Amino acid sequence: MEIFSISSLLLLFFLPFSSLPSPAIARGGERISSNLFSGSVNSNNWLFKRHLFEANHSPVRGDFAHGYMTNSELEKAVKEFGRRCSKISRIYSIGESVKRIPLWVIEISDKPGQEEAEPSFKFIGNMHGDEPVGRELLILLANWLCDNYMKDPLATLIIKNVHLHILPTLNPDGFTLRRRGNANNFDLNRDFPDRFSPMNDDVDSRQPETKAIMGWMKGRHFTASASLHGGALVANYPWDGTDDRRKWYYACPDDKTFQYMASVYSRSHHNMSLSKEFPGGITNGASWYPIYGGMQDWNYIHKGCFELTLEVSDNKWPKANELPILWEYNRMSMLNLVASLVKTGVHGRIVSSDNGQPLPASIMIKGINYTVKAGRVFGNYHRLLAPGESYEVTVTMPGYKSKATHILLGDEAASLDFILDPVKDPPKQKLPHGCDCINDNNSKLELVELLNGNHLKITLAVVGILGFTCLVLRRKMIFKFRRQKQAMVGNKRQNVV
Ligand SMILES: *[C@@H]1O[C@H](CO)[C@@H](O)[C@H](O)[C@H]1NC(C)=O
Ligand SMILES: *[C@@H]1O[C@H](CO)[C@@H](O)[C@H](O)[C@H]1NC(C)=O
Ligand SMILES: [Zn+2]
């Protein structure tokens, strides 16, 4: 490729110098590139995308792996967990690495593998092969949850109300090679479709690990997620990339929501929020250093999933005897972040007033250019939002009348259900008691005939009975889904619109 010619030589020349003062290139060497070519928006910048330069030296000395699980030990740990905690978990694989190592996922829930009207969260570790702390923390997290179910309120809340999916390692080959990239030496956090450039649009050149993540998300919706990295101590949120390739605070529509989520992590951490480099221990990705083709922005734009990139230790590969303390530092952060899916935000179900059918409607917040979709099976939605503000929530669904309402979101989650009326032709709307229950065309015709006849008393009686039955059915239906809803969040505030 021609773009590799001059610029790559330049980069190779500058790399040793420019990387010296740069302590944390956790999400990538892009920081170097933006310093080098600041302001130059030419196509040569594409070279900093996915394919990493071969390093002659191994970035991590052999003894550093000591005490960390090998890939086969990790696989064993996952399967052992599945056996030990079989009631609240399910083990599955989302694909394979280049070297054909399965990418195992642990799902934790009181009803693993079942679809429920609950939010899902995913944790991804070890996307960069030389950042292995995450994979260890995630195995510890899974086991802690299993050991504390029905003992610790937070563990119980998570297992009962969230479907938590844990992928300890996305890059097992990179881990074995002790380097950032995968076996083809591609940086997986530059391999996703990008918002501003077509650089990763070629499906065939996508890495198997990236394909696995994208395939995973095809049949599943995650409300939020986090990918665990190392090399800094900060909770990073979208956007990661900017439209002009400059380094500046590039806020996404949900900037406030993300600041809140990132703060949940940093403030629950041992000392992340005390950072001198990052106020509050959080950062907008692009204001730190922009990257392109990252997983985080792709999740938010394309998958309705609010993803954070968590840098959990300054040292990418600390000695294994530091892992227990790193787990202690991060434990409450991880738990509180997952629990925030239930404890904050606006949640509810959207059904048709016609027949109580769940509707995969769109939920919009005034002033935030972002749409959250309700689920197809249950019509449930989970809209994360920064607390302490009032919001105007609008729900739209083709074929139905939109509804809007205001809500003041406090420190707790709010429950907000919508019953949408279908857009109908006028005659049908004039049925007695606004009864929507008679969908059947025959019964409607009969009703019309009766009305035209002379049996007025009988007609009125029939209409009355039908109307009453309708009301009862409708009430029952609404009641039922309210009850299901209550069971789901165990919630305090209940609103129906
Ligand atoms: C957090 O604590 C660790 C371990 O004590 C220390 O190495 C690190 O410098 C601290 N970071 C901040 C931002 O206080
Ligand atoms: C809203 O976001 C979409 C992309 O998701 C964009 O095309 C559109 O211009 C935005 N609208 C406003 C008013 O910013
Ligand atoms: Zn990383």
Query: What is the number of the ligand 1 atom nearest to the C-alpha of 272?
Result: 13
CATH number at residue 317: 3.40.630.10
Query: What is the number of the ligand 1 atom nearest to the C-alpha of 277?
Result: 13
Q: Whose CA is nearest to atom 13 of ligand 1?
A: 275
Whether 324 and 368 map to the same domain: the answer is no
Question: Measured in angstroms, how far is the CA atom of residue 315 from the centroid of ligand 1?
Answer: 11
pLDDT at 293 over 50: yes
Q: Is any atom of ligand 1 closer than 6 Å to the C-beta of 274?
A: yes
- 90-99, 298-307, 421-430, range with the lowest pLDDT: 421-430
Which residue, 313, 315, 319, 316, is CA-closest to 66?
Answer: 319
Whether 320 and 399 map to the same domain: the answer is no
What residues does 293 pair with on adjacent strands? none
For residue 463, is it within any domain?
A: no
Report d(CA 347, CA 3) in Å as an integer.
Answer: 48
CATH number at residue 399: 2.60.40.1120
> Where does the pLDDT of residue 65 fall: very low under 50, low under 70, confident under 90, or very high at 90 and above?
confident
Report d(CA 25, CA 31) in Å as an integer.
Answer: 7
Whether 316 and 367 map to the same domain: the answer is no
Q: Is any atom of ligand 1 closer than 6 Å to the C-beta of 377?
A: no
Q: Whose CA is nearest to atom 11 of ligand 1?
A: 271
Q: What is the pLDDT of residue 236?
A: 98
For residue 155, is it within any domain?
A: yes
Query: What is the number of the ligand 1 atom nearest to the C-alpha of 275?
Result: 13
Residues with CB under 5 A from ligand 3 (ion): 26, 128, 131, 229
Ligand nearest to the CA of 131: 3
Q: Whose CA is nearest to atom 5 of ligand 1?
A: 271
Q: Is any atom of ligand 1 closer than 6 Å to the C-beta of 273?
A: no
For residue 429, is it within any domain?
A: no
> Where does the pLDDT of residue 471 fall: very low under 50, low under 70, confident under 90, or very high at 90 and above?
low
Residues belonging to the chain: 497
Question: Measured in angstroms, how far is the CA atom of residue 421 from the centroid of ligand 2?
Answer: 28
For all residues of the chain together, what is the average pLDDT? 83
For residue 152, is it within any domain?
A: yes
Mutate to test the pocket of ligand 1, among 233, 278, 315, 327 (most ligand atoms within 8 A of CB): 233
Which residue, 349, 350, 356, 317, is CA-closest to 470?
Answer: 356
pLDDT tens figures, 174-194: 999 999 999 999 999 999 999
For residue 476, is it within any domain?
A: no
Whether 109 and 209 map to the same domain: the answer is yes
Name the percent of the chain lying above pLDDT 70: 74
Collapsing DSSP to helix, strand or coil, 217 comes out as coil
Ligand nearest to the CA of 318: 1
| Domain end position, chosen among 297, 318, 343 | 343
**196 exposure class (CB count in 10 Å sphere: 0-12, 13-18, 19+):** middle
Ligand nearest to the CA of 366: 2
Question: Measured in angstroms, how far is the CA atom of residue 369 from the centroid of ligand 2?
Answer: 6
Q: Is any atom of ligand 1 closer than 6 Å to the C-beta of 330?
A: no
pLDDT at 480 over 60: no
Q: Whose CA is nearest to atom 3 of ligand 1?
A: 271
Question: Measured in angstroms, how far is the CA atom of residue 282 from the centroid of ligand 2?
Answer: 26
Annotated catalytic residue: which of 311, 322, 389, 446?
A: 311
H helices of 69-131, where? Answer: 71-84
Q: Is any atom of ligand 1 closer than 6 Å to the C-beta of 233?
A: yes
Question: Measured in angstroms, how far is the CA atom of residue 370 from the centroid of ligand 2?
Answer: 8
pLDDT tens figures, 106-152: 999 999 999 999 999 999 999 999 999 999 999 999 999 999 999 99
For residue 334, is it within any domain?
A: yes
**Cβ contact 176:71 at 8 Å:** yes
Q: What is the pLDDT of residue 461?
A: 54
For residue 410, the enclosing domain spans 346-424+486-496
CA 287 to chain centre: 22
Q: What is the pLDDT of residue 435?
A: 38
Whether 102 and 199 map to the same domain: the answer is yes
Report d(CA 298, CA 320) in Å as an integer.
Answer: 32
- 35-39, 255-259, 419-423, range with the lowest pLDDT: 35-39
Ligand nearest to the CA of 126: 3
Average pLDDT of the segment spanning 407-414: 96
CA dist 171 → 80, 260, 330, 393 (Å): 21, 29, 21, 40
pLDDT at 5 over 60: no
For residue 442, is it within any domain?
A: no
Q: Whose CA is nearest to atom 6 of ligand 1?
A: 271
Whether 306 and 386 map to the same domain: the answer is no
Q: Which residue has the higher pLDDT, 49 or 381?
A: 381
What domain count does the chain have?
2
Q: What is the pLDDT of residue 330?
A: 98
Whether 209 and 73 map to the same domain: the answer is yes
CA 95 to chain centre: 19
> Where does the pLDDT of residue 432 fall: very low under 50, low under 70, confident under 90, or very high at 90 and above?
very low
User: What is the sign, positive or negative, of the torsion defined by CA atoms of 156, 158, 160, 161?
Assistant: positive
Question: Measured in angstroms, how far is the CA atom of residue 316 from the centroid of ligand 3?
Answer: 8
Whether 145 and 280 map to the same domain: the answer is yes
Q: Whose CA is nearest to atom 7 of ligand 1?
A: 314
Average pLDDT of the segment spanning 438-444: 38
pLDDT at 211 over 60: yes
**Cβ contact 306:384 at 8 Å:** yes
Give catalytic status of residue 73 as yes or no: no
Whether 385 and 253 map to the same domain: the answer is no
Name the percent of the chain lying above pLDDT 90: 72
Q: Is any atom of ligand 1 closer than 6 Å to the C-beta of 232?
A: no
Whether 158 and 282 map to the same domain: the answer is yes
Ligand nearest to the CA of 370: 2
Q: Is any atom of ligand 1 closer than 6 Å to the C-beta of 275?
A: yes
Q: What is the pLDDT of residue 468?
A: 59
Q: Whose CA is nearest to atom 10 of ligand 1?
A: 271
**Cβ contact 188:128 at 8 Å:** yes
Average pLDDT of the segment spanning 416-424: 96
Whether 319 and 411 map to the same domain: the answer is no
Whether 293 and 405 map to the same domain: the answer is no
Residue written as token pair 């689920």: 375
pLDDT tens figures, 319-353: 999 999 999 999 999 999 999 999 999 999 999 99
Lookup: tokens for 273: 């929020």
Q: Is any atom of ligand 1 closer than 6 Å to the C-beta of 271?
A: yes
Question: Measured in angstroms, how far is the CA atom of residue 233 from the centroid of ligand 1?
Answer: 9
CA dist 65 → 131, 230, 378, 443 (Å): 11, 15, 46, 74
Residue written as token pair 């069971």: 487
> Where does the pLDDT of residue 495 fall: very low under 50, low under 70, confident under 90, or very high at 90 and above?
confident
pLDDT at 425 over 80: no
Question: Measured in angstroms, how far is the CA atom of residue 253 from the centroid of ligand 2?
Answer: 9
| Domain end position, chosen among 301, 326, 343 | 343
Q: What is the pLDDT of residue 66?
A: 86
For residue 464, is it within any domain?
A: no
| Domain end position, chosen among 343, 362, 396 | 343
